Amino acid sequence: MIDKNIAALAEADTAATKEDAAPHVTFRKVQKTYDGENLIVRDLNLDIRRGEFLTLLGPSGSGKTTCLMMLAGFETPTSGEIRLGDRVINKLPPHKRNIGMVFQNYALFPHMTVRENLKFPLAVRKLPAAEIDKKVDRALNMVQLGVYGERYPQQLSGGQQQRIALARALVFDPELVLMDEPLGALDKQLREHMQMEIKHIQRELGITVVFVTHDQSEALTMSDRIAVFNQGVIQQLADPATLYEKPANNFVANFIGENNALAGIVESVDGDYCHLRLDNKARVQAVMGNPLKKGDKAVLSVRPECVQLNVQSLGCANRLGGYVTEITYLGDHLRVRVELAGRKEIVVKAPAAQHKHRFDLGDAIHVGINPEQLRALDPALGA
């Protein structure tokens, strides 16, 4: 349970809601290069809503961290404009942006106690001593570490240090909070716990958070929206469900979650659907994720849990034959690898209660896919 005092830290944001027409942060035609030739960020246009949790997601070198550093003021855009509210902040130094920052390595001062670490950003702002103590108490209670104020960072666990780093980022009522891979150093169980804790605090305070990670599961769990980066360009900006179920291109389909990709040629187009011939000569129907026309090459994307097996496949418009090459029991589901005719393998996640002991390695099997769950994408997009 988040401490009741957490609401006091939200006073600066009570007048603004997620429905505000004006974006909280705006990037317009922002570019960044370090050598004058290679663009790390390309023509970035992005609006971040007030009070949302936005994640910048992508592989290493995709430009997501550079965007965060430009917003924080640690990097300067080569061109374009960044606004925080109605202010252009391109040349504003970091300490004048009223932005909280949480790093992966915590960045706590080892020679200071927890309380002293939290007091530091308030003392820099020359707040009265009584107000500093009040804000520090509230921040410590918010992360449920009120009794640890006199300890030093090295006397805390990794999760406790990360909570203190979060409290320090929030203690001065920042206009915006930036987080750069803040959970990367934690073990899986603690990482998942901290994901929920950070999200609960963000919702309770109503603050705007920009979060950088390369962990797709973390992004899907925590975000209101996700901007997927590749080669300095946002490939898709959407809520987690849309990203997963309706990827805009082949890169997003393969980067977000697990994906089966089949190659095909478009034979006909019918509204939002198309008919295709696969490499193994089988014919299927799919929904078009990108504009396609007769004769175009396409990549067909389908999630493993959307593929039906044997009896469950009977009602599917697309039904293909194959052989079972691998079965892995994972408790609630089976992970089944199926080799289709033409030697293309796909992975199926099948409910264990439906399929346990009903087929074995080497068995012939039918797989079924509904057209709505088979997405035809242009292989050239997102490359």
Are the C-beta atoms of residues 32 and 54 closer than 8 Å to each other?
no
Q: In this structure, which amino acid lies at residue 362? A: G
Q: Which of 22-31, 196-205, 233-242, 299-308 has the lowest mean pLDDT?
A: 196-205
β-pairing verdict for 25-33 and 79-84: antiparallel
The model's confidence at residue 63, banded by pLDDT at 50, 70 and 90, is: very high
**How many CB atoms sit inside 10 A of residue 262's CB?**
24
The model's confidence at residue 82, banded by pLDDT at 50, 70 and 90, is: very high
| Both structure tokens of 304 | 């493993």
* Predicted local confidence at residue 12, as pLDDT: 41
**Global confidence as pTM:** 0.88
Cα–Cα distance for residue pair 281/176, rounded to 1 Å:
54
Measured over the CA atoms of residue 165, residue 168, residue 171 and residue 175, the dihedral's sign is negative
Q: Per this entry, what is the length of the chain?
A: 383
The model's confidence at residue 4, banded by pLDDT at 50, 70 and 90, is: very low
> Domain 4-245: what homologous superfamily?
P-loop containing nucleotide triphosphate hydrolases (3.40.50.300)
**How many CB atoms sit inside 10 A of residue 307's CB?**
26
- Calculate ∠ Cα 149-151-153, nearest 5°: 110
What DSSP designation does 18 have?
T
Share of the chain above pLDDT 90, in %: 75
Q: Which of 8-22, 76-90, 220-234, 345-359 has the lowest mean pLDDT?
A: 8-22
Supply φ then ψ for residue 45, to 5 degrees.
-125, 120
Domain boundaries, the chain: 4-245, 251-377
Measured over the CA atoms of residue 74, residue 75, residue 76 and residue 82, the dihedral's sign is negative
Cα–Cα distance for residue pair 339/222, rounded to 1 Å:
35
| Both structure tokens of 154 | 């090295």
* Predicted local confidence at residue 356, as pLDDT: 66
What average pLDDT does the segment 156-166 reach?
Answer: 90
Supply φ then ψ for residue 219, to 5 degrees.
-65, -45
The model's confidence at residue 8, banded by pLDDT at 50, 70 and 90, is: very low
Residues 149-170 as b or e (16 or more Cβ within 10 Å = b): beebbeebeebbbbbbbbbbbb
List of E strands, the chain? 25-33, 39-48, 53-57, 79-84, 87-88, 99-103, 176-180, 209-213, 225-230, 233-238, 260-270, 273-278, 283-288, 297-302, 308-309, 318-329, 333-340, 345-351, 364-369, 375-377
Q: Is the pLDDT of residue 276 over 60?
A: yes
Share of the chain above pLDDT 70, in %: 94
In 3D space, the residue among 381, 376, 371 whose CA is nearest the CA of residue 298 turns out to be 376
Average pLDDT, the chain: 90
CATH of domain 251-377: 2.40.50.100
What average pLDDT does the segment 147-168 reach?
Answer: 92
* Predicted local confidence at residue 281, as pLDDT: 86
β-pairing verdict for 176-180 and 99-103: parallel
